[in-house]
């Protein structure tokens, strides 16, 4: 870590669970997604992985698969928030009072929320959710959203590039982050509708599929201030995702933006204090 340009790497997309639930949650998700986790799902294991990969901070995304999971997730998020862990709780957009819940997140001093259109059963540009997105935009809360297909679900287009563009045309000031380089496993549509636009894209789970050449093309075609490093740990190895990103040889300017400057600017330069 002698290169100051690579100091302070931020992983914008990771997952962890409360210690008491981690083992069960990982086993369930492994079965559901037919995937193997690289870590046991505990925050302590994520921190150890960050230490060995040379990652300073991680954004820990929770997913409320049912509306009543909001309160326990918010409580736990406040507990784990630290200099190195930035938790994003989750509001179920179709549950009762999603705007009020988003306000509680903002009041807790947390920077935003995570949404998942498959686990939460919605389509990204559904007009019945516009009041919710309008409130998120007004509050300035960050929205990290699963985008593209999901290997655990049928290939319905719930959060594809066309829907992303429709949503952001409607709410241009929404701090929206599309995960998985725009839309997981929907690369031609990413190329057609997202690349080159001022839309934040986090890169987890994509370089493995895109390969080095197309991965490099995508990340150099996109505006440098809108790319964010992420791993989706524990579903990938943080060290391996970092290696794949570095192997693209994006150049020090773009790497600095990807690994550090853009995520830091989005999160605020100081980790938020939790009240």
Nearer to Zn ion, 186 or 232 (CB): 232
Nearer to Zn ion, 86 or 256 (CB): 86
Q: Report how far residue 183's alpha carbon sits from residue 160's, in angstroms, rounded to the nearest whole number.
A: 6
Q: Are strands 85-88 and 227-228 parallel, antiparallel or unpaired?
A: unpaired
Minimum CB distance to Zn ion smaller for 130 or for 151: 151
Segment near Zn ion (CB under 5 A), from 66-74, 118-126, 191-199, 231-239? 231-239
Part in contact with Zn ion (CB under 5 A); list of ranges 18-26, 44-52, 212-220, 224-232: 224-232
In the bound state with Zn ion, the residue whose beta carbon lies nearer, of 11 and 232, is 232
Binding segment toward Zn ion, per CB under 5 A, in 75-83, 88-96, 185-193, 228-236: 228-236
- From 73-81, 98-106, 187-195, 225-233, span contacting Zn ion (CB under 5 A): 225-233
CB closest to Zn ion, residue no: 232
Output 110 or 256, the one with its CB closest to Zn ion. 110
| Contact (Cβ atoms closer than 8 angstroms) between residue 77 and residue 109 | no
Q: How many residues bind Zn ion (CB under 5 A)?
A: 1
DSSP helix/strand/coil, 231: coil
Q: Is 232 in the site for Zn ion (CB under 5 A)?
A: yes
Angle between the N-to-C axes of helices 130-139 and 98-107, in degrees from 0 to 180, rounded to the nearest 10: 20
Closest approach of Zn ion to the CB of residue 195, in Å: 21
Distance CA 1, CA 263 (A): 19
- Euclidean distance between CA atoms 274 and 39, whole angstroms: 27
Helix (H, G, I), strand (E, B) or coil at 270: coil
Six-digit token string for 74? 């918010």
User: Shortest distance, CB of residue 237 to Zn ion, whole angstroms?
Assistant: 14
**Considering beta carbons, is residue 145 or 256 the nearer one to Zn ion?**
145
Among 48-56, 130-138, 170-178, 232-240, the segment contacting Zn ion (CB under 5 A) = 232-240
Distances (CA, A) of 266 to 47, 70, 142, 212, 257: 21, 23, 8, 27, 11
Pick 13 or 256: Cβ nearer Zn ion: 13
| Interhelix angle 130-139/161-170, nearest 10 degrees | 60
Cis-peptide, bond into residue 230, ω within 30° of zero: no
Between the two ends of the chain, the Cα-to-Cα distance in Å is 33
Q: What is the dihedral of CA 61, 176, 199, 184, to 10 degrees?
A: 40
Give me the 128-167 binding string for Zn ion, x by CB under 5 A, dash otherwise: ----------------------------------------
Which residues form the interface with Zn ion (CB under 5 A)? 232
């Amino acid at each position: 870590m002698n290169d100051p340009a690579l100091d302070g790497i931020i992983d914008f997309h990771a997952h962890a669970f409360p210690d008491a639930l981690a083992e069960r949650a990982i086993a369930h998700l492994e079965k559901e997604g037919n995937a193997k986790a690289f870590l046991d799902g505990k925050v302590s294991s994520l921190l150890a992985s960050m230490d060995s990969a040379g990652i300073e901070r991680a954004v820990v995304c929770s997913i409320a698969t049912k509306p009543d999971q909001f309160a326990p997730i918010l409580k736990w998020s406040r507990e784990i928030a630290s200099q190195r862990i930035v938790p994003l709780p989750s509001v179920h957009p179709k549950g009762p009072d999603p705007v009020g819940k988003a306000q509680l997140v903002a009041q807790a001093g947390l920077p935003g929320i995570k949404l998942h259109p498959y686990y939460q059963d919605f389509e990204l540009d559904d007009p019945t959710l516009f009041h919710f997105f309008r409130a998120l935009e007004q509050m300035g809360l960050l929205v990290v959203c699963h985008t593209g297909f999901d290997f655990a679900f049928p290939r319905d287009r719930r959060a594809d590039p066309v829907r992303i563009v429709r949503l952001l045309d409607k709410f241009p000031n929404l701090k929206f982050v599309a995960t998985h380089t725009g839309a997981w496993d929907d690369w031609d549509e990413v190329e057609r509708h997202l690349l080159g636009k001022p839309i934040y894209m986090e890169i987890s789970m994509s370089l493995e599929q895109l390969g080095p050449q197309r991965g490099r093309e995508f990340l150099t075609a996109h505006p440098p201030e809108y790319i964010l490093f992420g791993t989706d740990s524990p579903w990938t190895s943080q060290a391996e995702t970092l290696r794949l990103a570095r192997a693209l040889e994006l150049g020090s300017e773009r790497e600095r933006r990807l690994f550090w400057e853009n995520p830091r600017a989005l999160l605020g330069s100081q980790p938020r204090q939790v009240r």
